[in-house]
Amino acid sequence: MITSTLRRVLLVAKHASFQSRCCVASSRVQYSTVYDSNEKTFDKILIANRGEIACRVMKTCKKMGIKTVAVHSDVDASAVHVKMADEAVCVGPAPTNKSYLNMDAIMDAIRKTGSQAVHPGYGFLSENKEFAKRLAAEDVVFIGPDTHAIHAMGDKIESKLLAKAANVNVIPGFDGVVEATRVILCSGGGGKGMRIAWNDDETREGFRLSSQEAASSFGDDRLLIEKFVDNPRHIEIQVLADKHGNALWLNERECSIQRRNQKVVEEAPSTFLDPETRRAMGEQAVQLAKAVHYSSAGTVEFLVDSNKNFYFLEMNTRLQVEHPITECITGLDLVQQMIRVAKGFPLLHKQEDIPINGWAIESRVYAEDPYKSFGLPSIGRLSQYQEPINLPKVRVDSGIQEGSDISIYYDPMISKLVTYGATRAEALQRMEAALDNYVIRGVTHNIPLLREIITHPRFISGDITTNFLPEEYPEGFKGHQLTSEGRRELVSTAAALYVSAQLRSQRFLGNLRVSTTPQEQRQWELCVELEKGSHTVAVSRSGSTFTVSDTHTHTHTHSGVEVDGVTVEVSGEWNLASALLPVTINRTPRVLQCLSRDAGGDITLQYLGTQFKVRVLSQLVSTLSAHMPEKVPEDTSSILRSPMPGSVVAVSVKPGDVVAEGQEICVIEAMKMQNSLIAAKAAKVKSVHCKAGETVGEGDLLVQLE
């Protein structure tokens, strides 16, 4: 029997090997930073956060010989960060305002465990000056900047005025508080509450939604107005400062690939900056840090136009989500630096010591449906989960494991997938392989979108802006679009997989089930249905290699009947029990995933990141299936279903109301983002199936129209 203590020891051992999950500049070193066991900092640190960032902080604490305390909500009692910690304290029920934002409960946990310092991670209380004040009042060290810097940079209006005074380039705009009639909106952090308004109607609508989001997420409904910079890049500078007046800039991170003003893919360094612009941005970032007497790791964000003019956006007074890519190219452990600074030690490095070694790319892997507004939250349990950490120079920062739940209460991030290479091309190649080898089952995820981004010709060329996604996918993301070669590869692999499964079903312990069975079949004629095409293929087998000939291809499009007669050779181990399906197709190695397969010939394959439904049938079954009735699709114009799990903020209609096309029906809040749902047509409301305050699931019926 495994006791709870032994289970915790085993889990700690599993996650303690940080080196195997980190990007390295060479095979000899992980970080240029030395973990000096004689340099005493703290005996015990409480991490006031959850998930991957709590796990990330704990890894460095263990390397420094510091004991850790986890806090958790009741639904997170079995979370990875709880098991990794030396101690754990429950601070309340699932809602964040009753647990991870519950300062009273967290202060009690600090007293109970005797923690000497608190690392806030990012989000939650990481930029809350009141929390920092309460810690200081009880002689507990806040691992971050002091309350003055948090307040100065946390208020977007005040931070802009301070940046101006420090001779930092700022975006022209209104420096006061926005009233309802003003244009545009910006509140909170992490892209939340930010909207663009092109006219008065959009201004009023945006003001309402952004004010509500700001009040809900940050307790402050003030808004800021500033000029909208069209087609900018979002480039940020990592700064590090101590309590002795020393401050460094640790190069930049390119964060232009965004959806809903939230980052999706980041890289360091940027393809766009030349050394002079990099230095100018870095020096201005340090000027701002010194102006507010900053001491810790922080990030100064800029918008950069096509002429390399850069403008201050905001300063995040905490560890940034995307900090791993900076660690990869500089060799510094930023969490260790924060802990040293908080204890009062001076920085060990000078500006000339900070290198750019190689290239690092981070993909944020989310439990989201990328086909809905580039990513609406998904919830569920991870029924199967396998990180690609066996690949070289791949780092995965996560706080989940197989069996973990992704709930509506917290951010839907699964992990931060980071790859490192000597060049950008090498880092991109490793990212492509890592995404193909990442196994996630039980929730919808955004790997299809991530893979399309990092293989897109425009992204590869470095020609990107914050408008990349809407420009490249104006009708929304549709997944990987198959070429004729890709279609042949997918059809051939599905046919080979089908035959492999048929052969396995005929065997028992490696032998044929019936000894009197005639000689084993080596040729098959199948019908493979993919998208709108039906392919008649001839399959032959020699060992583990299948040769597939596409004899007739019928595509139900304007082009009529297409016959290509191309022969494809597919070889592999064909381990049907494995989550991964590594194959070689015409001498090109591929890693596919078989997500599902049933006796009716329906197979779902993940190919080049995207899921494709394929049906493989024998010729006889294919002929008979043509006589089966088809299911009539639901008329979605007359019903409104929730596109995501969340809570109903407001319902704007009642039965009998007449609505116009595009009129707001209700507002759903998911992961602190408010989404206005509208009528697809002008009609009378027949019935309303939700009310404000209720929790709804994805696909739940909200309103029905006549």
- Among candidate residues 318, 340, 395, 430, the one labeled active-site is 318
| Amino acid, res. 322 | E
Backbone angles phi and psi of 100, in degrees to 5: -70, -15
What's the order of all strands across the beta sheet hosting 695-696? 673-678, 664-670, 646-651, 695-696
Pairing of strands 567-572, 581-585: antiparallel
Helix pair angle (156-165, 147-154), 10° resolution? 100
SS3 676: strand
Judge whether 318 counts as a catalytic residue.
Answer: yes
Query: Can you list the positions of beta strands (E) in 581-672?
Result: 581-585, 588-597, 602-607, 610-618, 639-641, 646-651, 658-659, 664-670
Cβ atoms within 10 A of the Cβ of 522, count? Answer: 11
Among 651, 632, 640, CA closest to 700: 640
Helix pair angle (129-137, 103-113), 10° resolution? 30
Greatest alpha-carbon pair distance for the chain in Å reads: 90
Alpha helix positions (H), 344-476? 424-436, 447-454, 457-461, 468-472
Query: Distance of CA 359 to CAs 37, 126, 251, 252, 344, Å?
Result: 30, 28, 12, 12, 32
Cα–Cα distance between 309 and 302 in angstroms, integer?
10
Give the DSSP H/E element, type plus range, for residue 487.
Answer: helix 484-505
**What's 468's DSSP letter?**
H
Burial zone of 618 (CB within 10 Å; 0-12 exposed, 13-18 middle, 19+ buried): middle
Cα–Cα distance between 89 and 84 in angstroms, integer?
13
Name the residues annotated as catalytic: 318
